[in-house]
Structure 1
Amino acid sequence: MKTDRSTEDLFLLSAMQQGSKTAFDTLFKRYYPMLCAYCHRFVELEDAEEIVQDIMLWLWENRQSQIIETSLNQYLFKSVYHRSINAIAHNETKKRIDTLFYKETQEILQDTNFYQIEELTRRIKDAVASLPPAYQESFVMHRFNNMSYKEIAEKLEVSPKTIDYRIQQALKILRIELKDYLPTILTLLYWKL
């Protein structure tokens, strides 16, 4: 049975490499559910679906130049595994950077004098208040109410990726809005070191 499937995969892969959309569709339908289930062992389902779609799209777009030295099955599962590990590493790095930024900001605020804290607090509140409502709501829930992306997503009935996007956009806007205070923050950091 495995030999028949491998032979059929080779036939479909060959047809796909020659431009057969039908062959690609057949491979997509055959592997997509299995690959998503496998990928979901490592990442959230939404991320798993995106990873598998990217791999299948890459397979189609690079059909003429790719050389698969193992079975298609092994190749696809190995690709999913590596992309999942990369996604995990990327997300962990992003979380660490966000956490570090937040902690350093909190430490700066604790170490500055009362008037500097009061002024920075007022400016931050104004900047947060000027955010678009969806960004502001997600940002406040995450940064001030210590809710996770998943908790916020469930409460607002949107995907965690949407929450991630909103918070990243909010941070970009806040960096621009508070850019005039960067010299003060950097000076405080310098004296702290």
Structure 2
Amino acid sequence: MNLNDNRLIIKTLRSGDQKVFSLVYASYYKPLCLFCSSYVSLEEAEEIVQDLMMYVWEKRESLVEDLSLKSFLFTSVRNRALNSITRSHITRQVYEEYQSQQLKSLPALDSCYSTELFNAYMEALHALPKEQQKVYVMSRYKQLTHKEIADTLEVSVQTVNYRIGKALQFFRIRLKDFCLK
């Protein structure tokens, strides 16, 4: 099938033809990753492109036949990369502000204590059951919403809420000696 026949490609995708989707995926994956890697790391670019391709497949029925698939894919990848950069920047700013406030409120904090706390935190993180650990990391480090996590893992939002709640409860128990009373 000719990828230049945009209308036919969209029409066939909308009908659920997996062979055409595979062709589109194979044809655009590397160029999209290369383009996206000009904004973010190659690893993150690959993840963004894979997520976009899954989105296209899941939403294929809503694709408009007049849509330029190539333009849509490249524009979407760029927007997703910029959103990722923004999320990372905001997360870093919040973390730096938090660190600054912590240092102001605890000027005599012993570096040994903070290292001990960090090590205890990492031990607790790695001791979490795998499902809870995965959801916690996606929420706290990748900054995904509970809905995005649920969609990615193909579970309900309630399951995500439950697993994060259990993870936080686990941390409270494991790190109770470090909490201020």
Shorter-chain TM band: 0.5 to 0.7
The amino acid that maps onto 1:32 is Y
2:117 is the alignment partner of 1:127:
yes
Structure 1 regions of 5+ residues with no counterpart? 137-161, 184-193
Seen in structure 2, the aligned counterparts of structure 1 residues 68 and 85 have a Cα distance that, compared at 3 Å, is farther
Q: How many residues align?
A: 141
Query: Which runs of 5 or more structure 2 residues have no equivalent in the other structure?
Result: 127-133, 142-167
Give the TM-score taking structure 2 as reference length: 0.64
Equivalent-residue separation in structure 1 for 2:66 and 2:105 (angstroms) = 55
Give the alignment's Cα RMSD to 1 decimal.
3.3
Which structure has the bigger radius of gyration?
1
Instruction: Give, in angstroms, the shift of residue 127 of structure 1.
Output: 3.2
**Conserved in 2, the CA contact under 8 Å of 1:35 and 1:80?**
yes
Letter in structure 1 aligned against 2:117 = A
Go from structure 1 to structure 2 and tell me whether the alpha carbon gap of 1:134 and 1:65 turns closer, same or farther (over 3 Å shift).
same
The residue type equivalent to 1:6 in the other structure is N
Q: Is the 8 A contact 1:68 1:75 kept in 2?
A: no
Q: Share of identical aligned residues, percent? A: 24
**Aligned 8 A contact 2:7 2:66 in 1:** no
Report the equivalent of 1:33: 30
What is residue 6 of structure 1 aligned with on the other side?
A: 4
Paired with 1:37 and 1:126, the residues of 2 have a C-alpha distance of 41
The CA deviation string for residues 58-110 of structure 1, in whole angstroms up to 9 with x for no partner, is 10011112326431111111111111111110000011111111111112122
- 1:41 maps to amino acid: S
The whole-number CA distance in structure 1 between the counterparts of 2:27 and 2:119 is 49
Q: Check the 8 A contact 1:10/1:72 in 2, yes or no.
A: no
After superposition, where does 1:135-154 map in structure 2 within 5 Å? Answer: none
The verdict on how the C-alpha distance between 1:53 and 1:129 changes in structure 2, with shifts beyond 3 A counting, is closer
Structure 1: distance between partners of 2:65 and 2:124: 45
Please tell me whether residue 17 in structure 1 is matched to residue 14 in structure 2. yes
